[in-house]
Structure 1
Amino acid sequence: MIDLTVIWACIIGFAIVAYVVMDGFDLGIGILFPFFKVGKDRDTAMNSIAPVWDGNETWLVMGVGGLLAAFPLAYSIILPALYAPMIAMLLGLVFRGVAFEFRWRDPAHRAFWDRAFTTGSVVATFAQGVALGALLQGITVEGRAYAGGWWEWLSPFSVLTGFGLMVGYALLGACWLNWKTEDALQRQAVTYAGRLGLALLLMIGVISLATLTLEPRYLDRWLSFPGVLATAQVPLATLIVTFLFYRALRRGKDAQPFFWALALFGLCLVGLGVSIWPDVIPSRVSIWEAAAPHRSQVFMLVGASIMIPIILAYTAWSYWVFRGKVGHDGYH
């Protein structure tokens, strides 16, 4: 028998992965934006994401909306626990979007809008990382409701994951610019990518070790025998991908470093899955306990099976149309 709860968990997981892949690099460009020269370099960086940045956030809406529809109990617990970082993330995304549009339409105040673009990107990214860290460290649940305080989400671990995600998104942004730009801006992006790759590897190591101290279940999942024979492949694969990433950078490849950076994110998500599966709220609520009724899942699955291919098709088309490098004139 097909388990629709597992299918919906996979759909939401796919939406999260798609969001990280597609919105991570343009948030990363926002984080790196102050380090680019005012003028053509900043304009080129903006133009490299202009055709796709708005559609990238479709997957965030789908992930959060899918959580509400498919796992309403989890949504009702997670949202009150993470009100503050979620509100900060949304405000950051809104501020960033407004700045993106107005920097072209209000050139007299372009410096202000550039700062706003960076601020929105940093706040949105940091808030996402904090939310992930707060979820991993555990949410206080009593019965079927959130029972913690307003500041439960704030801890050294959640702040660490916030900075870790900023480093990761900045790496994706640097790799995207290496792929899509030329000349001095591309060389600058390669330099940043090299430094950020090492920083991300360090953050992955520190966060992974810190995660093992949060819950006894995490430690058991990763280090108990014989499961450790399988889980040990994740850090090994991380080292291999890091080597391939730097080899591609040294050889002057355009697209390959970006995809190897995405592979690092993919391995991080695999590690996250190893730690929490099959819980939607780690060590508190499983996906089956939080799931919507069977009929609701069937009804939503019909809509998702229609809409997801459509979204994938127009997303792929937009990336195909705007393939290639962006010149200083703003054209692909």
Structure 2
Amino acid sequence: MTCFWLAELAFSLLMYVVLDGFDLGVGVLSGFAGDTQRRDVMVASISPVWDGNGTWLVIAGATLFGAFPDVYALLLPAFYLPLAGMLIGLIARGVAIEFRHKTVRGRWIWNVCFFAGSLLAAFMQGAAVGAYAQGLPVQNMEFVGTGLEWATPFSLWCGLSLVLGYGLLGAGWLALKTEGDVQAFGYVAIGRLLWMTLLAEAVVFATTIVSHPQVAARWHEHRALYVLPVAGLLASLGIAYGHRNHALRLSFCMTVLLFAVSFLALAASFLPYIVPFSVTLREAAAPASSQTFMFWGAGLFVMPMVVGYTWVAYRVFRGKVDAAHTYH
């Protein structure tokens, strides 16, 4: 049952990173939109789905709390500040999306909130991931650090890397969902962000391997893991090919694949630890009775319901958006 909940946690996190990632990326790119009409179309492209995308973060948090409560209790004090920053950013962008179309003279304020909130949320998520990958000071299943472990150069670089990655996802979404000027904007952004994202990700991967002998040993011991970077390289080539040939759906799908491969590489680097080099899955798992009890509710009904709702939402709101279909 522990493997089931680990798979559900990983799936929820990956869904959040991909789905909320592209709408956070659109928010970051909105800061470079240049004019109101273009920004209106960018907001319209995510308006039917942005709030539902955040559901996956709730699912991941609830799964962590129920199935791995010791990890939840350990990570929360370690990430108070980045989590607070992320929530402030998510709240700011949510309010901005709802309020910006209700005013004319003050719209610039909400435009700034939409951009800054998206940037802050994305950056703080990346910084938290960087701190997690570095390893946290843990004694007797308790966090004993200062709470500033996320503020290292490596973690801040991870924050920047995730902003770039989300921007790439957002650019792919805009190119796929819009037409005319906004589609051209997204198309140009893909070309500019792809290589910056790959460089940033390569630095993160190399630094992790060099600074953690345990990770290097795991990759050396399990040679099959090298399939993941090869798949990431092929996905990158697929993005570049789709961009060059205006195959925008291929470009976006390959970007999603790149994120999925990067996520799996991160997880595979640290297993069987759920908190790197401190807490294993077996040590962190809730009692079997608790996991079974959760399965009959969250596992059997809630997850399929959220998957179904997500599929319906994207099915109903498929197709292109334009200036005539702005958020209201």
For this structure pair, what is the TM-score category when the shorter chain's length is used for normalisation? over 0.9
Q: Do the aligned residues in 2 keep the contact of 1:245 with 1:256 (CA within 8 Å)?
A: yes
Amino acid at match of 2:80: Y
Q: Which consecutive unaligned segments of at least 5 residues does structure 1 have?
A: none
Give the TM-score of the pair, scaled to structure 1: 0.95
Matched letter for residue 169 of structure 2: L
Stretches of 4+ aligned residues off by more than 4 angstroms: none
SS in 2 for 1:275: helix
Give the number of aligned pairs: 326
Q: 2:276 aligns with which of 282, 287, 292?
A: 282
Residue 92 (structure 1) aligns with: 89
Q: Equivalent of 1:63, from 52, 55, 60? A: 60
User: Of 173, 178, 184, which aligns to 2:181?
Assistant: 184
Mapped contact 2:26–2:167 kept (Cα < 8 A): yes
Work out the percentage of aligned pairs sharing the same amino acid.
Answer: 40
- Aligned 8 A contact 2:150 2:156 in 1: no
Which residue, 254, 257, 271 being the options, matches 2:251? 257
**Structure 2 CA distance, aligned partners of 1:106 and 1:188?**
25
Residue by residue over 1:31-68, the C-alpha shift from the partner in whole angstroms, topping out at 9 and shown as x without a partner, is 11121132211100000000000000000011011111
Q: Which residue of 2 aligns with 1:20?
A: 17
Aligned positions of 1:109-258 closer than 5 A:
109-222=106-219, 224-225=220-221, 227-228=222-223, 230-258=224-252
Give, as a single letter, the amino acid of the residue that structure 1 aligns with 2:22: F
1:208 positional shift: 0.4
Offset of residue 330 of structure 1? 1.2
What pairs up with 1:288-299 in 2 under 5 angstroms? 288-299=282-293
Distance of 1:65 and 1:293 partners within structure 2: 16
Tell me the distance in 2 between the aligned counterparts of 1:221 and 1:201. 23
Change (3 A) 1:331 1:149: closer
Could you report, residue by residue, the CA deviation over 1:177-231 in whole angstroms, capped at 9, with x for unpaired residues? 0000111211121111011111111111111001113322111112x25x23x22
SS of 2:248's partner is coil
Residue type at the aligned position of 1:234: L
> SS in structure 2 opposite 1:96?
helix
Asked if 2 retains the 8 angstrom alpha-carbon contact of 1:43 and 1:330, the reply is no
CA–CA distance in structure 2, aligned partners of residues 38 and 188 of structure 1:
12
Is the 1:44–1:327 Cα contact (8 Å) retained in structure 2?
yes
Say which SS state the counterpart of residue 237 (structure 1) adopts: helix
User: In terms of mean alpha carbon deviation, does 182-191 or 130-139 score higher?
Assistant: 182-191
Q: Which amino acid aligns with 2:236?
A: T
Contact 2:25 2:163 in 1 (8 A): yes
Bigger mean CA offset, 158-167 vs 247-256: 247-256
Matched, 1:314 2:309: yes
Contact 1:129 1:165 in 2 (8 A): yes
The answer for the alignment partner of 2:323 in structure 1 is 328
Q: Distance in 1 between matches of 2:149 and 2:20?
A: 27
In 2: Cα distance, 1:239 partner to 1:151 partner: 34
- How far 1:276 moved relative to its partner? 1.1
Q: Indicate yes or no: 2:270 matched with 1:270.
A: no
C-alpha deviations, 1:2-44, integer Å up to 9, x for none? xx11111110100001101110000001111121132211100
Output the CA distance in 2 between the equivalents of 1:184 and 1:246: 21
How far apart are 1:234 and its partner, in Å?
Answer: 2.0
- Secondary structure of the residue that 1:40 maps to in structure 2? helix
Which consecutive unaligned segments of at least 5 residues does structure 2 have? none
Give the distance between the partners of 2:307 and 2:230, measured in 1 at CA: 32
Report the aligned-residue RMSD: 1.3
